[in-house]
Amino acid sequence: MALKNNHLINARNSKNDEFYTQYKDIEEEVSKFKSSFNGKIVYCPCDSCNSKFPQYFKDKFKELGLKGLYRSAINDDAFYYDGNEEIKIDGIVDITKQSFIDLMLKCDIVVTNPPFSLFRGFLDNIINNKKQFLIIGQQNTISCKSVFTHIMDGELTLDYGFNGIAGWFEVPSEYEDYAVAGEHKVGMIRVSGVIWYTNLPIEKEVPFIKLKKRYYNEDGSINTYYKTYDNFREISGLDEDCININKVSDIPCDYYGYMGVPISFFGKYNPRQFELIQLDHYGPLGNQDNVVDGVAKYRRIYVKQIKKEYR
């Protein structure tokens, strides 16, 4: 059973949210961006000597053509590896303080799995200092205003490298495991809704979503499956509706108006197929709760399908 969202919230509130990434997951993801690492200095700022991130980059130092590797734990000593030996750097580095920024400015690419509780501020610091990055975060973080703004501004993209948007992570022994007996793994926990955030160039374009459903029936009537938001016209000030989409596979092939799609849409988003409009609670169409027949829906992203002749 996947770790439920309320467990993630509890972990965030108690700051007990340090999940340690497996070596194989790091290797699989970095392999997609190998050319981006050649001649670069990498910084792993949430990683002790036992973390798999610095271990991986030490193992692959020559293969990736790295120039150098920094590592530091969340609030601890920092070290520099030149391909031959690791040297301790004077001073403690805290990822919530200026010491983190000072060390980050010496690197080219930040690669790590930051604590969920610190993710937004951590990401802002990296982007504001114009560094490249490849980091793990929760999918739900997309619905935060600052993170979505970075997406809209083209400052980050998403890569769904974990199968089923869930990964197995190593955790401290005192961490409470919520998995059912059949899925329990000693020293591990399965966390749902985790993805990679990056601004490294993704060489392979995401294919168009194959849309199989239709908004209009053969007789020209509207498919009653598609509901509109009760309050969209009133809040947006537009003289048109926005239809609710519960699953990406429900997006109709013949509809070009406003649609409210779930945040999982980003796993298949191609900017040549869809135009991003706004996050439901932030943008030119106002701050809206997505309500259908009086029932509130979860967070949505407003998009429009681009007509084929304009792609």
**Per-residue confidence (pLDDT) for residue 105, from 0 to 100:** 97
Query: Which whole number is the average pLDDT over 68-81?
Result: 95
Q: Return the CATH class of domain 11-198.
A: alpha beta
**Per-residue confidence (pLDDT) for residue 20, from 0 to 100:** 87
**Per-residue confidence (pLDDT) for residue 192, from 0 to 100:** 87
**Per-residue confidence (pLDDT) for residue 116, from 0 to 100:** 85
Question: Between residues 82 and 49, which one has the greater pLDDT?
Answer: 82
CA 155 to chain CA centroid, Å, is 13
Ranges of each domain in the chain: 11-198, 232-310
**Per-residue confidence (pLDDT) for residue 181, from 0 to 100:** 47
Tokens standing for 230? 């009760």
222 pLDDT above the threshold of 90: yes
**Per-residue confidence (pLDDT) for residue 174, from 0 to 100:** 58
Q: How far apart are CA 187 and CA 53, in angstroms?
A: 18
Question: Between residues 140 and 172, which one has the greater pLDDT?
Answer: 140
- pLDDT tens-place string over residues 79-97: 999 999 999 999 899 999 9
Q: Which helix (H) or strand (E) holds 6?
A: helix 5-14
For the chain, give the mean pLDDT.
Answer: 89
**Per-residue confidence (pLDDT) for residue 206, from 0 to 100:** 85
Report how far apart the first and last C-alpha atoms of the chain are (Å, whole number).
41
